[in-house]
Amino acid sequence: MEKINIIGAGLAGCEAALQFADNNWQVSLYEMRPEKQTEAHQTAFLAELVCSNSLKSKLETTASGLLKKEMKLLGCKLLPIAEECAVAAGNALAVDRDKFAMEVTKIIENHPNINLIRREVTQLNDELTIVATGPLTSDAMTKELIKYVGEEHLYFFDAIAPIVSAESLDYDIVYRKTRYDKGEADYLNCPFTKDEYYEFVNALNEADKHEAHEFENIFFETIKFHFYENCTPIEELARRGKDTLRYGVMRPVGLEDPRTDKRPFAVIQLRAENSNNSSYNLVGCQTMLKYGEQKRILRMIPGLKNVEILRYGSIHQNRYLNGPHILNKNLSLQKKDNIYIAGQLSGVEGYVESIFSGLLVSRIIQDNLQELPATTISGQLWRHLIAEQENFQPMNANYGIIPALKERIRDKKLKKQKYSERAIKDMEEFLINR
Ligand SMILES: Cc1cc2nc3c(=O)[nH]c(=O)nc-3n(C[C@H](O)[C@H](O)[C@H](O)COP(=O)(O)OP(=O)(O)OC[C@H]3O[C@@H](n4cnc5c(N)ncnc54)[C@H](O)[C@@H]3O)c2cc1C
């Protein structure tokens, strides 16, 4: 019987444990709770959902719904349990969090091939192991990982700027240009007049802000300690002074509008998120504003009046590895290839994505999986973890990461349906032909 160690019995770790155990592997699954709690978990149950109870949309025409469909095709173990524990939530798959966690705990505790060991793991050995210790990986394990990845590749925070869809931008207003025309024009620019800028700053100052939890205070002490000034939220910069933003992330120098040759009063730059330029990141605009406020205030940015937000900004404690620099394609560590990384620690973002990651690493190890279709959300999430990129940040399921359709479709609903149909068809064919 083949053997594997899995460290961390969260979403990724439990999915992986069941994938191996059901396939007749002997699994040693390590979980440090309840002996040692994280700042966010509250129970001793495995697969605890630390915040919202929503696993997002069930609709296959949404990116999250499509990812779920792909995961089912790949044989996901936790999604069917989530469905059994679902509560009414319209088109979303929301679960009774205690029921879900208790059910997963029961299945794992009773599984003849899983040995659940309740203790913190502080060292890595030479045995086949998956590390799935999550965004709140314990300090001792963090230090251990640093030995193999280097301190510079272990990130301690997650400052995320919103991502918006390219097709929702107003191209009569935004324009393409890099600062001082250096390099290729990879940026789109949203030009502010003086009045627009001060209205924007006022709105940021008056906006409804997210209340920090205790663990986030701890996290901010970490930020101060590490001087991660470049992840300061825009609302905090606005609070520091009415001109702080326009001398910082919104400075307009070298960004004259080519249509008028005039320099705007301030500029927000958008950087492409992917090679087909279907989604853009608001450079330097990481924010802790509540989602409703983000939507309202982003629409005040010139050119973003009808913006579609693909991912909201956020800042919270999140330990994750700089995958593209330290992981092999099969998600093992370049410097210790018996150790595989799964879950949020590997650079995916979200409950469903973390479950997916546990599933993916299991398939890679058991079936020597080499690839998934490029048109699928799962294929592109995997690619994201290993593809060379500037400023690596955790990624969730969104349509911006998959390649554009061959035909140009204006109707958004139809377009999403086509994306979904293409992905499901390609995944089904891929699995049949394997
Ligand atoms: C505060 C917070 C709120 C979040 N809210 C949401 C949300 O609302 N929606 C969403 O989609 N995503 C959310 N996420 C992101 C992410 O989806 C979840 O964190 C998800 O649980 C990650 O899954 P995981 O399996 O990687 O890690 P976890 O589910 O966190 O599992 C990791 C497990 O490893 C254990 N562990 C850690 N170190 C060790 C060690 N050394 N030895 C043994 N065990 C160890 C932990 O106790 C934990 O049980 C949130 C993240 C955080 C930090």
Count: domains in the chain: 2
97 and 219 fall within a common domain: no
Residue 304 in tokens: 């973003």
Q: Provide the CATH number for the domain around residue 380.
A: 3.50.50.60
Which residue's CA is the nearest one to ligand 1's atom 11? 350
Closest residue to atom 30 of ligand 1, CA basis: 134
Residue 348 C-alpha to ligand 1 middle, in angstroms?
11
To which H or E segment does residue 222 belong? helix 214-226
Identify the domain boundary among 290, 312, 334.
312
Boundary of a domain, candidates 291, 312, 333: 312
Listed residues 280, 312, 344: the one ending a domain:
312
Bridge-partner residues for 159, per DSSP? 315
Judged against a pLDDT cut of 50, whether residue 225 lies above it is answered with: no
What confidence tens digit (pLDDT) does each residue in 261-293 have? 999 999 999 988 766 788 888 988 988 888 899
12 within ligand 1 shell (Cβ under 6 A): yes
The mean pLDDT value of the chain amounts to 90
Q: DSSP characters for 34-71?
A: TTS--SS--SS-TT---S--EEEE--TTSHHHHHHHHH
Specify the CATH number for the domain of residue 246.
2.40.30.260
State the closest ligand 1 atom to the C-alpha of 49, by its place in the atom list counted from 1. 21
Pair 33, 113 in one domain: yes
What pLDDT is stored for residue 166 in this prediction? Answer: 93
Q: Which residue lies with its CA nearest to atom 49 of ligand 1? A: 10
Domain that holds residue 299: 163-312
pLDDT in tens, 377-421: 999 999 999 999 877 888 999 998 999 999 999 898 999 999 999
Give the residue whose CA is nearest to atom 45 of ligand 1: 8
Q: What are phi and psi of 122, to 5 degrees?
A: -115, -10
The alpha carbon of 8 and the centre of ligand 1 are apart by a number of angstroms equal to 9
Same domain, 232 and 367: no
Q: Are 289 and 235 in contact (CB under 8 A)?
A: yes
Please state the pTM of the whole predicted model.
0.78
Q: Do 231 and 334 belong to one domain?
A: no
Give the model confidence (pLDDT) of 93-115 as tens digits.
Answer: 988 888 999 999 999 999 999 99
The verdict on 305 and 326 lying in the same domain is no
